[in-house]
Amino acid sequence: MPGPFTTRTLTISSGSSETVTDLTRACKEFLTEAAGGRDGLLNVFVPHATAGIALIETGAGSDADLLAALHTMLPADDRWQHRHGSPGHGRDHVVPAFVPPHATLPVIGGRLELGTWQSVCLVDTNKDNADRQVRLSFLG
């Protein structure tokens, strides 16, 4: 039986465009090994200052809608004080205030308890950093 705490780091290559990457399958695969049929909590954490974790519906346009909403709220222009990187990159450092870098989710009987249309997603608006780490941790 696995121990009460297990963790794994995923490496995600998000490319050179803004992305919403569905992590649900990777979370479920991790829990198959880590949870051993137990109840507990899954924490999903991205240790980057310009990315976040969202629970949204994917595949029906919501992922594109989320990126569009972030563009509306946080335009990629020269208004930002943080100015290194590509033009408008300062807004990427504000994104985690709206899409937090973590989510803690219930696990019942070793299975991730999501709503019917919920997916666990990495939201990455930083075109300057294509490689991301996502830490999955199970406590049960």
| pLDDT band, residue 1 (cuts 50/70/90) | low
DSSP SS3 for 100: coil
Give per-residue pLDDT as tens, 13-44. 988 889 999 999 999 999 999 999 999 999 99
Give per-residue pLDDT as tens, 108-123. 999 999 999 999 999 9
Give per-residue pLDDT as tens, 52-71. 999 999 989 999 999 999 99
Query: What amino acid occupies position 107?
Result: V
> Model's pTM, two decimal places?
0.94
Find the mean pLDDT for residues 78-96.
87
Residue 120: the pLDDT is 98
Question: What is the extent of the structural domain holding 53?
Answer: 5-139
Distance spanning both ends of the chain, measured CA to CA: 11
C-alpha span between 118 and 115 (Å, rounded): 5
For 41-87, give the DSSP string: EEEEE---TTEEEEEE--SSSHHHHHHHHHHHHS-SSTT-S---SST
Give the domain CATH number at 30.
2.60.120.460
Number of domains into which the chain is organized: 1
